[in-house]
Structure 1
Amino acid sequence: MPSLTGCAPSLTLANQTPLTEKRMSIRQYVALALMGLAALPFTTVRVRAAEEAAPVAAHIKLSGDLNEAPVSSDSLFGAAAENFKSKLDRIHKAAKDDAVKALYLEIDGVSMGWGKLDELTRAVAEFRKTGKKAFAYMEGGDAKEYLLATSCDEICVPESGWIMLTGVRAEVSFYKDLLDKIGVKADILRMGEAKSAAEPYTQTKMSEASHKQLEGVLDDFYENSMVGRIVKNRGEKKFTAEQVKKIIDNGPYAAHAAEKTGLIDRVVYQKDFEESFKETLKADGVTITRNYGQTKSEELDLSSPFAIFKLMSPS
């Protein structure tokens, strides 16, 4: 019988990869993946370093009565109360902080006398001596608030803002007519023509000597503390004393009128004002530290019935 020589059919897969090659490919993928994972921490560090390198604008809000009484560090609602010294300390701290490149003063209804105004002005001047910028933002303000703002490099108010710059004034109340009606007579010994402390109780109007004395005090404040301060602090505007006096005589001013006269630098809303820090500081980004340097105490959860025990416990 004829013999049949059979050949087993041979099936060849053109795309078949040997097992050793597969293993090598897997090893390569694993190695590449590990290299990528190893690079991630360094990338993160570089990103964080860039963020940390962003200049800081120290935000300090000045509002209300800047009293000088000692305050408790244990506040009921978290943020500890502050006094006038605390505000000054925060400005001085920002001046010494290398990360801080600008001071951002938000002036909002500050009640202060001429002495406190001078101290705040000196603190801002010392900050600027370090080569750092100072910005002032105010919704509106009276003469003292505006004079404080002039100690900064730039003053901005929103479109709805105003500057109540109208000079200085003083008034004296007299009570002699009231005392006469109730049958009371003030018995006061007066020594010297300019000693006017008793006048409100013994006269119905100011004496000539008293009027001259008070007028001299007001003239001094007007010429030096107001006109002279604006001429000096707004030096880039090259104001003369006579120009400033004329500006004051025509006050108060709405925002755009104040910008036109040179009292302020820009009319801008607060968000856009803060965005402009990048351009002024020539940085890609600026970190605004809200309430810079303000001490915060531990907050209480008043929804908890046990919060009362924490309030009653000795500190």
Structure 2
Amino acid sequence: MKQFFKFMFASALGTFVSITLSGIFLIFIFFAMLTGFTTSTLSSLAESNEKVEKVENNSLLRLTLNKPITDRSSENPFENFNFSTMESQNGLGLDKILRSIEQAKTDDKIKGIYLDLTYIPAGMATLEELRAALIDFKKSKKWIISYSEIYTQGTYYIASVADKIYVNPAGIVEHRGLSSELMFFKNALEKLDVEMQIIRHGKFKSAVEPYMLEKMSDANREQMELILNTAWSSMTKEVSKSRGISVAKLNELADNMTIQDAQIAKDEGLVDELFYKDELLAELRKKLEIDSDDDINSISIEKYASTLKKKNKKKQEDKENAKNQIAIIYAAGEIRSGKSKGDIMGSETMSKAIREARLDSNVKAIVLRVNSPGGNALASNVIWREVVLAKKAKPVIVSMGNVAASGGYYIACAADKIVADEKTITGSIGVYGVIPNAQGLMNNKLGITFDRVQTNKHSGLMSVFKPLTAEERDIIQIGVEKVYTDFITKVADGRGMTKEQVDSIGQGRVWMGLDALKIGLVDEIGGMDRAIEIAQKSAKLDTYDLVSYPKLEDPFEKLLEKLTLNIETRVLNNALGNEHKYYKKLQSVTQQSGIMARMAFDIEIH
């Protein structure tokens, strides 16, 4: 009870402070503009975002990648802006990281790549595409060197492509295999006296298990083990190929956890040398063929990406008037009705983006980049319809990122071709309905009661302050079954399968990209570049320009939105400390209502 009021007070306080400080901020902006401060400051920020860096001769390209990697780079200088340092904390999106590595491959000024790796906050498929780009870079006969004090499993997976891997003598190389922990809310909801009334279809539809159980069901454990084993098998095979260490040996080392020690990691062949930073710099000078007292010319990939902008700007007028365009439409986040915001993919925003690309005669093909665990079933259906209409007008190719599951697969299934990474999490063809019943919370915990007047028998069906009757449960079950039947019908039509075939691999079951290929849910293994290549061939284009959708938000609107969200987050962090993340998760759980097509979990490699 005490903890509940702590949560409730923190949320209320966060909202109050957000509104108050947002108002103060707006007043500050107004007066600052009068003095010219804001204009000059914001202009300088925008200019810094547009600045094109100079690449010196005999340079190395430095990849740190310690900021979250999204599919699409932001052009907004205020994205993730840090007001304490007056600097943007933006990281590059995967799109510009891959293009930068590709350009460096043929850039005579770039002699090699230096991987300065500690932690890469990215999903498995993102790491896979990044690794593939580095392997392609090596075809230029240029070198890659990696160094770290601590290699996580994700960073080592990337580093394993390097010609030489170095680690600090007192450093650590993590290699222990993969695991996944799921959070269950059954007991917490019981303590709050909140009942999650659940109606589902599909024995594997694990999205509802956190509300019902205290641990994984056998069916969910089965699919989780398959996902992790498939991902680990793929990773060890790739590392084995790069480092010349057998898969059996890699598994033995993981089981024994013997290579955390840097010296043992070297003895077992996972790293080449134990270097302090000064020794690494000496090695880099040797690779660049410069004297020991010469400065090393290096450029970060963030700065190097500005040279990509320069090329785009030279062709901006041509790009706007180009007759051969491939539209990349980024469909990322949980699917909900309305407009996109933050990590939410709004059906209104996405439908508009697909429609604009369809109606633009200059756009000859569409690549729909899906990175979504799903969400609201109705919103997914709205987006799916626009994909169907677009497919009638021009080729539509889906590129799946880290996850394209449930509603994410729903919007993808109508495409001409579906391309997924080996480690993409997809499938989860299943549906569930959930209506919270907070009557106990209100009556027993807070002393709040409700009374109701209604015109018809089921007018109060969607109330969250009463339990469902048996008849009402049947009504919702019929709705869930209808949505599921509609879901598998759309998949069957899109994939050239029977409904029975889809149902046999559906039931809410989650698949990895490799397994999805075998059962017909995807057509090919590959990344974004491969999807663009297929789109080009499908549209029979010799040359083309790339255009991105949806159109980016106004930077100032985004700034105000971020300010409000950041204030609330800071207040909750101060009030709850480490419990903050659990509160946010529980808040997400209790806000779900209606019929959903969503996967329950996300997996990252650490």
TM-score by length of 1: 0.68
TM-score by length of 2: 0.37
1:243 Cα deviation from its structure 2 partner: 0.6
1:125 to 135, 138, 154: 135
1:262 corresponds in structure 2 to 269
Q: Pick closer, same or farther for the CA change 1:180–1:289 going to 2, 3 Å.
A: closer
Give the 3-state SS of the residue equivalent to 2:117 in structure 1. Answer: strand
2:74 corresponds in structure 1 to 70
Matched, 1:192 2:202: yes
1:38 corresponds in structure 2 to none
Alignment of 1:1-315 (within 5 A): 55-67=58-70, 68=72, 70-73=74-77, 81-84=90-93, 85-225=95-235, 227-235=236-244, 239-251=245-257, 253-280=260-287, 283-285=289-291, 287-291=296-300, 293=304, 295=306
Could you tell me whether the CA contact under 8 Å between 1:80 and 1:295 is conserved in 2?
A: no
Could you tell me whether the CA contact under 8 Å between 2:57 and 2:110 is conserved in 1?
A: no
Could you tell me whether the CA contact under 8 Å between 1:136 and 1:156 is conserved in 2?
A: yes
Q: Identify which range, 263-272 or 250-259, moves more after superposition.
A: 250-259
Give the partner amino acid of 2:60: A
- Supply the RMSD in Å over aligned alpha carbons: 2.9
Measured in 2, the distance between the counterparts of 1:59 and 1:199 equals 44
Q: Deviations over 1:208-236 (max 9, x none)?
A: 111111111111111112x112101213x
Q: Pick closer, same or farther for the CA change 1:240–1:190 going to 2, 3 Å.
A: same
Structure 1 stretches lacking a partner, 5+ long: 1-52, 297-315
In terms of fraction of residues, the more strand-rich structure is 2
Give the 3-state SS of the residue equivalent to 1:187 in structure 2. Answer: strand
Measured in 2, the distance between the counterparts of 1:105 and 1:195 equals 40
Structure number with higher relative contact order (C-alpha < 8 Å, ≥ 6 residues apart) = 1
Q: Pick closer, same or farther for the CA change 1:178–1:125 going to 2, 3 Å.
A: same
Measured in 1, the distance between the counterparts of 2:109 and 2:191 equals 67
Give the 3-state SS of the residue equivalent to 2:229 in structure 1. Answer: helix
Q: Pick closer, same or farther for the CA change 1:176–1:95 going to 2, 3 Å.
A: same
Give the 3-state SS of the residue equivalent to 1:135 in structure 2. Answer: strand
Q: Which has the larger radius of gyration?
A: 1
Q: Pick closer, same or farther for the CA change 1:129–1:256 going to 2, 3 Å.
A: same
1:56 Cα deviation from its structure 2 partner: 3.1
Q: Deviations over 1:44-83 (max 9, x none)?
A: xxxxxxxxx9743222322232344514358986889442
Give the partner amino acid of 1:70: S
Give the partner amino acid of 1:246: E
Could you tell me whether the CA contact under 8 Å between 1:71 and 1:82 is conserved in 2?
A: no
Structure 2 stretches lacking a partner, 5+ long: 1-55, 308-606
Give the 3-state SS of the residue equivalent to 2:113 in structure 1. Answer: strand
2:492 corresponds in structure 1 to none
2:447 corresponds in structure 1 to none
Measured in 2, the distance between the counterparts of 1:117 and 1:278 equals 28
Q: Pick closer, same or farther for the CA change 1:187–1:78 going to 2, 3 Å.
A: closer
Identity %: 25
Could you tell me whether the CA contact under 8 Å between 1:73 and 1:80 is conserved in 2?
A: no
